[in-house]
Structure 1
Amino acid sequence: MDKKKFSETDICDKLITPALTQAGWDNIEQIYREYTLRPGRVVVRGHSASRDKRSVLRADYVLFYKANIPLVVIEAKDNNHAMGAGMAQAINYADLLNVPFSFSSNGDGFVFRDATLASGVLETNLALEQFPSPSELWERLCAWKGWSPEVRHVAEYPYSPSKTPRYYQLNAINLTVEAIARRQQRILLVMATGTGKTYTAFQIIWRLWKSGAKKRILFLADRNILIDQTMVNDFRPFKGAMAKLSPNAKGIERVDAGTGNHFIEDLDLAVNKSTKLVDKSYEIYLSLYQAVSGTEEEQNIYKQFSPDFFDLIVVDECHRGSADEDSAWRAILTYFGSATQIGLTATPKETKEISNTDYFGEPVYTYSLRQGIEDGYLAPYKVIRVDLDKDTFGWRPPEGMTDKLGHVIEDRIYNAIDMNRKLVLEARDEVVAAKITEYLKATDRFAKTIVFCEDIDHASRMRQALSNANADISRDHPKYVVQITGDNPEGKLELDNFIDPEKTYPVIATTSKLMSTGVDAQTCKLIVLDQNIKSMTLFKQIIGRGTRLREDLGKTWFTILDFKRATDIFADKNFDGDPVQIYEPRGDDPVDPPEPPADPPPDTGGAAPGEWPAGPITTGPGEGGGGPEVKRYIVGGMVTVAVARERVQYLNAHGKLITESLRDYTRINLTRRYDSLDKFLQAWSDADRKAALLQELENQGVLLDALADEVGKDLDAFDLLLYVAWNMPPLTRRERANRVKKRNVFTQYGPVARQVIEALIDKYADEGVQTIESMDVLNVPPLTDLGSPVELVRSFGGRDHYLQALQLLERELYAPQGLQH
């Protein structure tokens, strides 16, 4: 057996796998081959996106103990590599999975790295037949962690077999279960929106419940739809043992996978609708905070349970009311204070009055938005920054000017912070609506869109402005644009339809705070920011509405259309860093003077928390002492508003927004790689496949499609780069194609081959060099009219001769003027 001739796959199949089986790793649920850790970052290029293959991470082997806890990573190489050649990769993968055992092998044996130092040695060499057994490594792990038999019993209990968790979910689940098994009473999990917090919570509950560590569980959330969707989706395996604490639930609309018919699925309810008494025979309860608490004592359903009834409480979106010491929601957690409590959040909240970490402690695990995008589990974004002239340069009213209501407008300069707070310019609403509509028309008129407005009144005006801007659709489909705010019951009824991927309408939702969190808008492709946002927590919540990745539904990225420079927060050094105790001063804190306007008046007209009611905002007596001072002026079309500047920003190869123009960014990147024009021309000439060179440049952050959009010229990628980086006069693809056609270059080929070359030249002119370098081009018209791919290649004398002719064609296409054949 000559191992030098074996491929890496042969090494695995013929040598490594048999060694594992012999060592006792014989359960199919224990050995995972080609285990995907990261599917690869999605890179946005202009109006399309694709995965960066360089960022895909797959471990050759991950070994699990009892199909439950990842324990071992093995990286394999062929026998032409040293036995330890894969160790660096194995260590990297083991670090992601939080496991201490790494192996590298080339088929001769194993290099074994044991971070537990159980034998006192970090790395040792083992023969193939010396691979350790599952029980041996499990014992080492347990001793290293210092687990008691009770902790081990819980920690090794299997997952629900519903689906395989991702690596970061494995980490979150295992670390939480371990902490609770060690009797830690308060747990905080920080996971970015769209990374599966609810599914992670389900697996935690499943293992604790099935192992007997926790017998009665309460899951709390602050949105009704979250509870209902959780019951019929992630928590479905609990059916029969699970009920909802609500006297008014009616079930949830579902779609039959076989027929496509819609039906209402009943939810098991634990509260009798007539008596309001709770059935205490269930083991797992789900509830809204609002459904079990209230201002009246009889509304506090939770008090029908004894304080020690629950031994586990999971708090979803715990950055909201549960973090406030004075809230009714916190009272629930205090009442069941003996229970273990897990807080789930994407955005830990830290103010002088509200703190997640003070209550739950430091997170046992954090998985950030930036990491999710880098791994390829979350959708990336591009940013379109639109600065309006009155926002950017300010506006001062003429002396004595009155608004639409007859109020004299205070004489001062109004800027971006004042817009829609102290000053309403109706023309501004129209310009914003026009830019949103312009973007949708250029991309997808039916892409789900959320417009975040300053307050309810602003959301109402934007609904009208967007309806007018899209009158061709809104006339027949009035729910094309809807207002979804706390004071709008009709709009709130459309929330479920907005987030349902199968429902076309509504397409555009205007809102203020109501949709900033807890809204699972999986197919949302456009987030519009027309709101002054200074809070990191709020900003991350809003951005989270677009981060869900649904490749099966065509959602691979999203756009942020920013009218308020809110995306400056992306540049904050603390954005997506580890949660720290950062206090956000409130408006009355002398450290940070309040921005206008002051806190909203007490009567919010039914608005959701944080939203302002419609109508003029007033505060205190005016300078004349004769009544309230009008704080919001409404100015009609007499004042015009225009776009001052606009810039598109993309994420670079390191996950940061490109702040300069794409032209400058490309020039800097390209000249850093090729310090002279001659070196770039030589690299282009030497490349057997130009598409491969272009792909390499794109992987390094050169965004060719987006660059072409910004330059606005129909150029070949070669000319585009020369023009941008070295200011060379460009030729269009059609000009290059015509130059070749005018020359009698391909006389050595027969008539069919010359027709093929002629068609390839036209394909190049239409689509570029990447198209003609692919063999797939032989399967599309007009080449299919000339014969089958086999016949066309044969007309050149075979595949090698065809590729030689293609290389000759490329040399002619890119020959410098005056040096053509």
Structure 2
Amino acid sequence: MGLSERDICTKLITPAVVAAGWDVNAQLREEVTLTDGRVIVRGKLSTRGRQLRADYVLYHRPNVPLAVIEAKDGSHSPSAGLQQALGYGEMLDVPFVFSSNGSRFVFHDKTSQGALEREIEMSEFPSPAELWRKFQVWKGLDEPASQIVEQGYYAAPDGKAPRYYQATAVNRAVAAVANGQDRILLVMATGTGKTYTAFQIIWRLWKARAKKRILFLADRNILVDQTKSNDFAPFGGAMTKIANRQVDKSYEIYLALYQAVSGTTDEQDIYKQFSPDFFDLIIVDECHRGSAAADSAWRDILAYYSSATQIGMTATPKETAEVSSTDYFGEPLYTYSLRQGIEDGFLAPYKVIRYDLDLDLIGYRPHVGDVDRYGHAVEDRIYGQSDVDTKVVFDPRTKLVAAKVTEFLKGNDRFGKTIVFCEDTEHADRMRKELANANADLVADNYRYVVRMTGDDAAGAAELDNFIDPFSSHPVIATTSKLLTTGVDVKTCKLIVLDQRIQSMTEFKQIIGRGTRIDEANGKRFFTIMDFKRATELFADPAFDGDPVQIFEPPLGADLEELESTIESDQVAASADEQLTDSSRPRKYYIDGVEVEVAARRVQYLDAEGKLITEALSAYVKRKLQDKYLTLGNFLARWTEADRKQAILAEVEELGIPLDALREEAPNGAGYDTFDLVCHIAFDRPLLTRRERAARVRDRQPFGAYSERARTVLYALLDKYADDDGATLESGKILHLKPFDQIGTPVEIIKRVFGGKDQYQAAVRELETQIYAEA
């Protein structure tokens, strides 16, 4: 009963596991960190939430886990850690889960044909061979398949290892291939390492000689180049990139841009220079494009190599009435969502600043006979938000957007990498000009501060490598239309600006993915989305972070190729309809003399589950706090009992409540304690300012038992509280500030004035008790 959890592990659990035959160096790891801890945004700063750590993970081979053990101290029952361990087991995709307090194990066995859970003695812990045999049967692995599954991962010299979800994706894919599955779909959110996951899948299958010639297909040249020089570099001389329409059949690993191996004629279809059975494994990056009619060349290539195992990887599986990823590849073998990535702390959370402009909301209608800047008669109709920058152009609107973007950058980080998504290349050019004018000081220092990056601008596109390089300071702002929507890894991107109407959920997810990467080394943990076209309404769509849903149902007996051909013809016809048939009419009208103002501004944040809070913030906070604490009395009791008030505030933030946002939304919010704001919003308690609370403490004169110098310190702390948030009282750093430096050094104040650290902390707790005495 007297043993701590660590004692239980060291003295009882580890010896029992080792006695069962587990290699303590190769098969057993303790305190395995599974997540980085959710990023909690606090104003312009951020902190990390709690990391998830498994007490023990047992492995058959490195990165091939078999079991999880959760330990509890002697005051708990043997099963007390089972619920927690089952959660870890699900994350690691293992069938064997154990809980123990050092007296017995509780064994949860998903492979069991009998009792799912049972207690076993410490001496009865199963051996590695026993669990591996059960695992083989559970996965349906015969001996040849087992040999493939047992092939090791690539061991990087720098010690880089896959994250838990990457290992799960790799292990499932390798096991599926070993069992003969030839069409596989992996869905992983942008920024979660799809290419690294693909590399480890290829490496293990290639090393096991289960797959000898492999083709990796992507749709952007920069993706192929990044892959070859980064994640796939260990393949060395066995790898080549198919370029300049040249084919060399002496390699084993081939990387290709699908446009580089396909075309509109047999002569241009370079892939046909390989025999249909040349490749035995094909991995398609961003495979959601592969099922689209407009990109049917993907399907032509896959159909040609139909005998090969084909793995599709995407962040955004396409499921519409016309196009389906799952129809071709099957249901996802594994899905790791944006929401899960944010919750685990591997992806950056975001806040949304949405601007509604009066011109967009009201619309524009010309007067009869109006002409635009170039003398073209403006067609008489109402132009709404969908027409802005596609049919009608208002320079004051572009200037206002540029001003708001610049205002944000000046208030946060003027060198924070920013992507501005515009309607088309012409709009991107106008936005570049207005942003350059709004940031004339920095553009004068370096003209590359703002660059247009579009497919038709060779000079701008040439700056792409510099833009994505974390060590390159310029360009800072990129204006674009489509070039940066997918695949480009801009780790340091801190601001995404949407001045583009986005109707496609796939495109929206890809665009948001440009900001979700975390780059701790360069101070990037979260990012901001600034929306001028109401594109972020798509966050409320269940499809934004839901699992793919099969809704593609081709007509009974329909030929898929024929159906795709019909869809493609319809798209071409629709595109032709958009072109103006009268060459004398302009594609866009440029309207002068129109004023544009901000009609509304709204800031939105993520909740604890990684979803955007779309209801009023006060309503959300009230609901979450009442769910947690039920009544004001419960919250006050929790607050009063806590040794550190900051711990309660952290607990509130773990619910997904942005405390700084509460202060920003409240009238004169800077004058209120966070405690008061929470009590007021959640439980309708009257507000008191920090100054009012401090004045009440002074009126009571409660510190008569302390020495004069101690009272001086306590009242100085009270003054600091009145001017700042009360949580700073608990930080010893406050004693480094004025006026404490006139009383003595922090060490002198704590030791000589209060008699020691414990006495000082007790005095601070008493001060806090007095501050909240009438709460």
Provide TM-score, normalisation by structure 1: 0.87
Q: Secondary structure at the match of 2:669?
A: coil
The residue type paired with residue 131 of structure 1 is F
1:147 partnered with 2:141: yes
Matched, 1:807 2:762: no
For the residues of structure 1 that align with 2:82 and 2:619, how far apart are their CA atoms? 40
Aligned residue in 2 for 1:657: 612
Q: Match of 1:175?
A: 172
Paired with 2:741 and 2:236, the residues of 1 have a C-alpha distance of 56
Deviation track 1:668-725 (CA, whole Å, cap 9, x = no partner) reads: 4445666766665565445443222222222223321111122253222234335545
Partner residue in 1 for 2:728 = 771
- Equivalent AA in structure 1 for residue 763 of structure 2: A
Query: Is the CA contact 2:421–2:498 (under 8 Å) kept in the aligned structure 1?
Result: yes
Pairing 1:186-585 to 2, within 5 Å after superposition = 186-247=183-244, 277-295=246-264, 297=266, 299-321=268-290, 323-324=292-293, 327-351=296-320, 354-582=323-551
Is contact 2:376–2:585 with CA below 8 Å preserved after alignment? no
Structure 1 residues 475 and 109, CA, compared in 2 at 3 Å: closer, same or farther?
A: same
Q: Secondary structure at the match of 1:570?
A: helix
Contact (CA 8 Å) 1:618, 1:629: kept in 2 or not?
no
- Pick aligned residue for 1:640 from 589, 595, 606: 595
Instruction: Work out whether 1:117 is the aligned partner of 2:109.
Output: no
* Alignment: residue pair count: 758
Amino acid at match of 1:77: K
Among 716, 722, 742, the alignment partner of 2:673 is: 716
Deviations 1:146-183 (A, max 9, x none): 21111111111111122221121111111111111122
Structure 1 residues 599 and 46: alpha-carbon distance in aligned structure 2, compared to 1, 3 A threshold: farther
The alpha-carbon deviation at position 201 of structure 1 amounts to 0.4
Matched letter for residue 70 of structure 1:
P
Separation in 2, partners of 1:713, 1:168: 41
Which residue identity does 1:797 align to in structure 2?
A: G
Are 1:46 and 1:709, in contact at CA under 8 Å, matched by a contact in 2?
no
Q: The residue matched to 2:594 in structure 1 has which SS?
A: coil
Residues 294, 773 of structure 1: alpha-carbon distance in 2 compared, 3 angstrom cutoff: same
Instruction: Say yes or no: does 1:135 pair with 2:129.
Output: yes
Deviation at residue 562 of structure 1 after TM alignment: 1.0
Rate the CA distance shift 1:182–1:727 in 2: closer, same or farther, 3 A.
closer
For 2:590, the aligned partner's letter is: I
Looking at structure 2, the residues matched to 321 and 181 of structure 1 have their Cα atoms a distance apart, in angstroms, of: 25
Q: Structure 2 counterpart of 1:392, which letter?
A: L
C-alpha separation in 1, matches of 2:345 and 2:512: 17
Distance 2:304 2:630 in 1: 68
Q: CA deviation at 1:47?
A: 2.5
Give the deviation of 1:517 after TM superposition: 0.3
Structure 2 residue runs without a partner (length 5+): 555-563
CA contact (8 A) 2:289 2:295 kept: no
Q: Which of 757, 760, 767 is equivalent to 2:714? A: 757
Q: Secondary structure at the match of 1:464?
A: helix
Contact 1:293 1:328 in 2 (8 A): yes
Q: State the percentage of identical aligned residues.
A: 59
8 Å CA contact 1:447, 1:524 repeated in 2: yes
In structure 2, the CA distance between the partners of 1:583 and 1:531, relative to structure 1 (3 Å rule), is farther
**Farther off after superposition, 360-369 or 795-804:** 795-804
Equivalent position of 1:32 in the other structure: 29
- Deviation, structure 1 residue 784: 5.5
CA distance in 1, matches of 2:481, 2:768: 55
Task: Give SS of 2:287's match.
Answer: coil
Q: Of the candidates 43, 46, 49, which is equivalent to residue 46 of structure 1?
A: 43
Alpha-carbon distance between aligned partners in 1 of 2:684 and 2:246, rounded to the nearest angstrom:
78
Q: TM-score, normalised by structure 2?
A: 0.91
* Residues 737-789 of structure 1: CA deviation (Å, up to 9, x unaligned): 46656775545433543443244234324432211112343456654664454
Which deviates further from its counterpart, 302-311 or 648-657? Answer: 302-311
Give, in whole Å, the separation in 2 of the partners of 1:803 and 1:788.
Answer: 16
CA shift, 1:810, in A, is 2.2
| Distance verdict in 2 for CA 1:583–1:710, change over 3 Å | farther
Cα distance in 1 for partners of 2:175, 2:300 equals 27
SS of equivalent to 1:244: strand
Distance 1:412 1:745 in 2: 73
Match for 2:216: what amino acid? F
For 1:669 and 1:79, the matched residues in 2 are separated by 35
Q: 1:528 to 1:739 in 2, by over 3 A?
A: same
Find the aligned partners of 1:784 and 1:131 in 2 and give their Cα distance: 61
Aligned match of 1:271 = none
| Residue in structure 1 matched with residue 78 of structure 2 by the alignment | 83
Match of 2:90 among 91, 95, 112: 95
Distance change >3 Å, CA 722–CA 124, structure 1 → 2: closer
| 3-state DSSP of counterpart to 1:34 | strand
Which of 68, 87, 90 pairs up with 1:73? 68
After TM superposition, the structure 1 = structure 2 runs for residues 596-615 of structure 1, keeping only pairs within 5 Å, are: 599-600=574-575
CA distance in 1, matches of 2:676, 2:442: 41
Q: Name the CA distance, whole Å, in 2 between partners of 1:299 and 1:167.
A: 42
1:607 counterpart residue number: none
Shift of 1:491: 0.8
Structure 2 counterpart of 1:700, from 630, 655, 661: 655
Bigger shift: 224-233 or 734-743? 734-743
CA contact (8 A) 2:217 2:285 kept: yes
- Quick check: 478-487 or 278-287, which moved more? 278-287
**Cα distance, 1:212 vs structure 2:** 0.9
- Cα distance in 2, alignment partners of residues 584 and 550 from structure 1: 42
**Mapped partners of 1:760, 1:768: distance in 2:** 11
Q: 1:103, 1:678 → 2: CA distance? A: 39
SS in 2 for 1:320: helix
Matched, 1:5 2:12: no
Structure 1 residues 672 and 354: CA distance shift in structure 2, 3 A: closer
Distance 2:70 2:636 in 1: 39
Is the alpha carbon distance of 1:730 and 1:123 closer, same or farther for their aligned partners in structure 2, counting shifts above 3 Å? Answer: closer
Question: Cα gap change, 1:209/1:384 in structure 2, threshold over 3 Å: closer, same or farther?
Answer: same
- For structure 1, the residue ranges without an aligned partner over 5 or more in a row are 248-275, 603-616, 622-626
1:620 pairs with 2:578: no
Amino acid at match of 2:465: D
Q: Given residue 364 of structure 2, which amino acid in structure 1 is its aligned partner?
A: W
Q: 1:744 to 1:141 in 2, by over 3 A?
A: closer
Task: Summarize deviations over 1:73-126 as a string: whole Å, max 9, x none.
Answer: 1111111111111111122211222211111110012111111115x2222221
